[in-house]
Amino acid sequence: MLPATTTSEAETRALGERLAASLAPGAVVALHGDLGAGKTQLAKGVAAGLGVDPATVSSPTFTLIHEYAGALPVYHMDGYRTKRPEEFLALGVEEYLYGDGVCLIEWPQRLGNLLPPDTVHLELTHAGGDTRHIRLRGANGGP
């Protein structure tokens, strides 16, 4: 399934839906990528694959964490506005990261070493126009 290339937001969502099938309770997925790389769209697709109405999934940039009740609980969070990982600790983020749901994390680098060792790191990159490359990568950016 990965690496993958998508050519529209709809394809990115469809990829997320397929990825959802391989996620078990407690999975933590870090979504790396620049502004507009499709992180929220991929998260929307994963949530849809877990039985959440995708129309209700919106960006958590300002609200920090959104919870959805799917086949598994879905925790969609965003480190964009966070300057230091410790700020997320004050929000009780371990409850999510070590809970029974699926965590989808945008701007995950802002959570630093709070991310569990078994976090799945996905990277979305712009590849011209609406094309995006999505691949698995190591925690520090390597393959």
Q: What is the nearest approach in angstroms of another protein to the Cβ of residue 62?
A: 3
Task: List 67's β-bridge partners, or say none.
Answer: 75
59 in contact with another protein (CB under 8 A):
yes
The span from the CA of 43 to the CA of 134, in Å, is: 13
Amino acid at 138: G
Among 58, 71, 112, 141, binds another protein (CB under 8 A): 58
Mark residues 11-30: x for contact with another protein by CB under 8 A, - for none. --------------------
Nearest distance, CB of residue 35 and another protein, angstroms: 6
For another protein, which residue of 6, 48, 49, 66 counts as binding (CB under 8 A)? 66
Task: Round to whole Å and give the CA distance between 70 and 120.
Answer: 20
Sorted by sequence, the CB contacts under 8 Å of residue 96 that are 6+ apart come out as 65, 75, 77, 103
